[in-house]
Structure 1
Amino acid sequence: MQPTHDSVLSTHRARGETGQLSSNWYKADNLRGAMSMQKANFLWRFLRRIFGMNPSLPDPPTIYNLFTTLDAYRPEVQRTFRWEISMTKNDFPGSSRCFVQKVTYHKSRSLDRHEFLRFEIGAPDGPHRAVVIVGRTVDVPSLAKSSSIALTSCGCCTSPESLTQPAIDEITAATMGTPIGDELVRDHNCDLVSSLTFLNRAPSADEPSTLLAVISEYREKYHLQHSQCYWYARTAFKALMKLFEGSEDPRDGHRDGGKIHGSTLSLREDVHAVCCLYKERREKLSRSRAQI
């Protein structure tokens, strides 16, 4: 049984129609505030120096939109299409030597049941890893307003536009083991749905950046029933499995990822389509690099 427009929208309205439709705990403004994060970083670096904690820890590699400095108090935040550009630029080749070690799939226990992915990506050398949070959000007031107009004017929601708004597909990244990175890997009232590891060849950081951009372009709009955060996270997760022969380890008791109000989203055709588009995009990128 598919969820109705009213049941889906009422869930989002119950949150007060404020902010974006997501668990935006990973946004910089919600992570403790800039000043408190500065204090946390100062204390962290002070204790390391005084007590000899990781005294020889080198600085993270300079790969923008992936690793943050040890004293950073804000994460890197980018739309997916801009992240692909930064990860595939020829003047920053380090991203192709940073490999995905694990992908985890999470579902919020809050009312919106937001779903998102978390990547752990290793540095080219040294001990550092980056954490990257990926998710689709939408501006709730705009979505609620357009839906209300449609319901008021015609008695029922017949226009696809009434359920649709521009999607906000973003990545949030930081260096793990730093205060800002630790904040990104905290539980934050979320359940682990599943995890993905790669047995033969792990993707480099530039490869999922292309995949995520392709998915964002494939369905650019946020639709309450067809292309929301559940669809985005599950499509990306399944496409990674298919493209890189990933091994999935579902978490017992939390097999409800990719569902909205208990209804499973049909993804097979979408996953196949985005995988084909991804391969075309990567082949084009390889040809352009070969010409340089």
Structure 2
Amino acid sequence: MAFKSKSVKRFSVRGFLAAILHPFMTSPTDAPGVFTLGDSYNNVGDWHTLLLNNELSSQCELERLVCCKCTTSVEHEFLLLHFRHPTQHHAVAILVLDRTSRSDSTENNNGNGSSRSIGIGQSTVVSPSVSATPAHDSIFTTPNNGSAIESYLTNRYGQHKYLCHLDFPASARPSAMQVSVLLCVLRKHSPTYHLWQYQCYWYAYTVWEALKRLFPGCRETTQSEGRSRFCGQEVRKAESVEAVCELYRAEWARFENAAEERRRAKEEEVHRLRMEGLVEGRAQRQAEVDEERRQKEEERRQREEAERRADEERRQREKAEREYEAELNRMRARMAELERRAV
């Protein structure tokens, strides 16, 4: 009887423990703007500033990018950014990124952890006479819990689906700082929300394609069709990927140069303080040496003075002894002379 061979999956103690302990691992809250308690809102400029002020936040790495689409109303598109914590590697935070028109968007910047629907009416999309308005490019942190995140997205966007995801290899993951620089570049490139060029479809598409080009080696997986489409029809949008990539490269080079200048300035300041400390330390040490020398000189002087006094006392004692001996000899001679005369 022939038996079919079966592949046996090797048992991994580390994987087993990770599977058991993962639900009990608390999500860190030490990286503002990425890993925080509850959910929060920032426009992309404020998010960039937030990362600048926290080294841990800026070092979080983008592991996965997910393109999502609302299935009702205007079929709004938005992105989910999965960031891995730089030190607590079990932790992943999911951020939401999208573009809306400023007049129609609902912000969640009150700090109470609540969020509401974006509230973009269908007439806004189908009317070709809508003029350009300031764009609202925003990024949201979410509760770091699977069911809570899904509830959060449904509450904010309504029914939605996942179109595709982009996975970055561990060796080529963009940092949160690099992503924030790219988003700032997009903001400078197209600060207005224009229905036929710079809408949510353009924004999600450009972020997606720019990251693909700037950080090659990622793996793209399609789950559902319909990207950049409204009611099945492709939406016209500006082709800005190449221009945005060039702007990003220039901006990132300036950012790195500025960071290098800050690093050198910091090193020079540390060196200066160290040299000042050395000079101050040498001066302090010299003062200590001088004081030690003065104390030794004083001790030597006192010792010599004590020896001089001892010598003087010894000479006075010897002199007194000699005088006493001489007087005693005189008395003896006188007694001897008296004894002779008496005889």
- The aligned counterpart of 2:99 is 136
Aligned to 1:105: 67
**Preserved contact between residue 104 and residue 117 of structure 1 (Cα < 8 Å):** yes
Question: How far is the alpha carbon of 1:248 from its aligned partner?
Answer: 1.3
2:159 corresponds in structure 1 to 189
1:77 is aligned to 41
- For the 8 Å contact 1:133–1:171, the answer to whether it is kept is yes
How much has 1:206 moved relative to structure 2? Answer: 1.2
Deviations 1:270-291 (A, max 9, x none): 0001111111111111111111
1:169 to 130, 133, 137: 137
Task: Establish whether residue 249 from structure 1 lines up as the match of residue 215 from structure 2.
Answer: no
For the Cα contact (< 8 Å) 1:128–1:175, is it kept in 2?
no
Relative contact order, higher structure (CA 8 A, sep 6+)? 1
Shift of 1:140: 3.7
| 1:111–1:211 distance in 2 versus 1, CA, 3 Å | same
Aligned partner of 1:8 in structure 2 is none
Show the 5 A alignment for 1:84-99: 84-87=48-51, 89=52, 91-99=53-61
Q: Is the 8 A contact 1:116 1:229 kept in 2?
A: yes
- The alignment-based identity, stated in percent, is 24
Measured on the aligned residues, the alpha-carbon RMSD in Å equals: 2.9
Q: Give the aligned partner of residue 122 of structure 1.
A: 84
Tell me the distance in 2 between the aligned counterparts of 1:241 and 1:227: 20
Letter in 2 for 1:134: L
Alignment-derived partner of residue 191 in structure 2: 220
TM-score (norm 1): 0.66
Alignment of 1:1-292 (within 5 A): 57-58=25-26, 60-69=28-37, 72=38, 75-87=39-51, 89=52, 91-126=53-88, 127-138=90-101, 139-140=103-104, 157=129, 162-177=130-145, 181=149, 183-184=151-152, 188-199=158-169, 200-245=171-216, 246-251=218-223, 254-261=224-231, 262-265=233-236, 269-292=239-262
Q: What amino acid sits opposite 1:213 in the alignment? A: C
Larger Rg computed on CA atoms:
2
Over residues 88-147 of structure 1, what are the superposed CA-to-partner deviations in whole Å (9 max), with x where a residue is unaligned?
x1x411124311111100110011100000011111122221110000112249x99xx9
Unaligned runs of 5+ in 1: 1-51
- In structure 1, give the amino acid aligned to 2:95: V
Question: CA separation of 1:79/1:185 partners in 2, compared to 1, >3 Å: closer, same or farther?
Answer: same
**Matched residue count:** 218
Partner AA of 2:86 in structure 1:
P
Q: 1:68 to 1:181 in 2, by over 3 A?
A: farther
Indicate if the aligned counterparts of 1:239 and 1:274 stay in contact, CA closer than 8 A.
yes
Partner amino acid for 1:218? H
Distance 1:207 1:183, change over 3 A: farther
Compute the TM-score of the two structures, normalised by the length of structure 2.
0.57
